[in-house]
Amino acid sequence: MSQDNIAQEWPPVRGDYTIVNPESHIAVVTLASDMDPLPDTCITGSCKTENLGIEKIIANTISNSNIRYILICGQESKGHLSGNTLLAIHANGIDEQGRIINSEGAIPFIENIPPDAIKHFRTQVELIDRRGLVDTSEIQAIIEEYKSKGEPFPQPPMVVQSAKKKKHVEREIKGADVMINNDILMDTTSGVIFVQT
């Protein structure tokens, strides 16, 4: 197994997926359909949202240079339209506000993936649009066709950090100015509630 093509801790983002063969050149996104992972895929999973779900696909794809194709199959996620959105970001990218251009999804915004990672994704993979396909024999035939097709992406795997953690805010306690009961006090300036000892 060539580790040069796969990030050390792959896949970097947790989600609703199963790793089958990290060397395979095809990943499968089953949209809102839950399907058992099929042999010879790199990674198989669902994607029900047009924002965080798409971010996870991008992060987990660009961190494995073996992935050159993504088969989009299964039933579209109503309202979210994650399949439509995945095709839109691949074809058009995002605008200055992080909105996925030409997505029909309800909230198609990318907040945790930098533009260079999206460009990397758009260059690395080709999407196979088979939205609505749930027949596992047809899906397996597509997997067989693409599992070894082409070469790994010539650039090294790219790892992006997942969602930023909220900053811990230090609050200075000025003193209790509200008594909630005999033992519990509140400092309304800082919003801190504490127990009187």
For 9-36, write each residue's pLDDT tens digit. Answer: 999 999 999 999 999 999 999 999 999 9
AA letter at 167: K
DSSP letter for 28, please. E
| Contact in structure between 130 and 72 (CB atoms under 8 Å) | yes
Q: What's the pLDDT score for residue 184?
A: 72
By C-alpha distance, which of 4, 52, 59 is closest to 27? 59
Look at residue 194 and give its three-state secondary structure.
strand
Q: Do strands 192-195 and 184-187 pair parallel, antiparallel, or not at all (unpaired)?
A: antiparallel
Q: What's the pLDDT score for residue 79?
A: 87
Q: What's the pLDDT score for residue 141?
A: 98
Q: What's the pLDDT score for residue 161?
A: 67
Q: Do strands 184-187 and 126-129 pair parallel, antiparallel, or not at all (unpaired)?
A: unpaired
CA 80 to CA 52: how far, in whole Å? 11
Domains of the chain: 3-146 (3.40.50), 169-197 (no CATH)
Answering whether pTM is above 0.85, one says no
CA 136 to CA 159: how far, in whole Å? 31
Q: What's the pLDDT score for residue 189?
A: 61
Q: What are phi and psi of 91, to 5 degrees?
A: -80, -35
Which residues in the chain show pLDDT less than 50?
1, 163-171
Q: What's the pLDDT score for residue 31?
A: 97
Chain segment 47-58, per-residue pLDDT in tens: 999 899 999 999
